[in-house]
């Protein structure tokens, strides 16, 4: 199934004038990284609003701060970019919804663990609205579900926080080419499969995911104000 690009849309949500931006087509990774860096600085300096930015990238691999060279199995398959976020290697490409979440955490509790926990919950609740039962797994960052009789990862989380402003965010597999994950050890977890909504028999347009995600935004933000209890 070919997923058309999401329509161009830029709007402001009610909570603290957060900009909600959707970029059509495929955004080059270096361009996105530079834009995030600049926006994070502007948020910290008080010259720009917080931002939730949804987009797709052309096929590429990114290396997080914990990436191990041996886990890049096909170094010449796609461009490889250092990301500066936490985590190891991951794949980005068409059919995968990327969410870059740039928030002022100094005004939202100054708790990075609560932010990551909330980000996971936001995606999990959104997937539930689309009929996909996803979950957290202890000791493994990311979004997990069951696919074809085994546990599989449907979404990745990778964030960076600088001067209490978050950037990077999440990647959710709607309908990417899953074979492209074969060029890396995804997130450094060789014993687990990668899946997508399409692979799970829950095909959905990226726009439908975006709509469900936006509807869940107030709950996510409220959770940052009311920190989850630690297990």
**Angle (deg, nearest 10), helices 206-225 and 112-129:** 140
Closest CA to 181 of 155, 217, 200, 162: 155
Tell me whether residue 187 is one of the annotated catalytic residues.
Answer: yes
Token digits for 60? 């590429």
Instruction: Please state, in angstroms and rounded to a whole number, the distance separating the CA atoms of residues 192 and 161.
Output: 28
Which of 51, 80, 114, 187 is an active site residue?
Answer: 187
Instruction: Please state, in angstroms and rounded to a whole number, the distance separating the CA atoms of residues 10 and 147.
Output: 34
Catalytic residue numbers, as ranges: 187
């Amino acid at each position: 199934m070919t997923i058309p690009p999401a329509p161009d849309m830029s709007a402001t949500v009610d909570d603290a004038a957060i900009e909600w931006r959707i970029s059509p087509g495929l955004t080059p990774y270096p361009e996105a990284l530079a834009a995030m860096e600049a926006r994070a600085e502007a948020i910290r300096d008080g010259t720009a609003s917080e931002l939730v930015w949804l987009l797709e990238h052309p096929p590429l691999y990114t290396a997080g701060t914990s990436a191990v060279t041996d886990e890049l199995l096909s170094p010449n398959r796609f461009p490889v970019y250092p990301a500066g976020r936490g985590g190891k290697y991951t794949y980005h490409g068409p059919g995968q919804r990327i969410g870059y979440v740039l928030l002022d955490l100094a005004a939202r509790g100054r708790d990075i663990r609560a932010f990551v926990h909330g980000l996971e919950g936001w995606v999990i609740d959104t997937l539930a609205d689309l009929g996909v039962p996803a979950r957290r797994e202890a000791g493994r960052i990311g979004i997990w579900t069951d696919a074809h009789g085994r546990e599989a990862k449907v979404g990745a989380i990778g964030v960076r926080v600088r001067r209490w402003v978050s950037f990077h965010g999440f990647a959710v597999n709607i309908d990417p080419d899953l074979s492209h994950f074969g060029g890396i050890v995804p997130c450094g977890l060789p014993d687990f499969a990668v899946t997508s909504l399409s692979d799970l028999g829950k095909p959905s347009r990226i726009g439908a995911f975006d709509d469900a995600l936006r509807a869940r935004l107030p709950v996510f933000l409220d959770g940052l104000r009311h920190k989850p209890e630690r297990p």
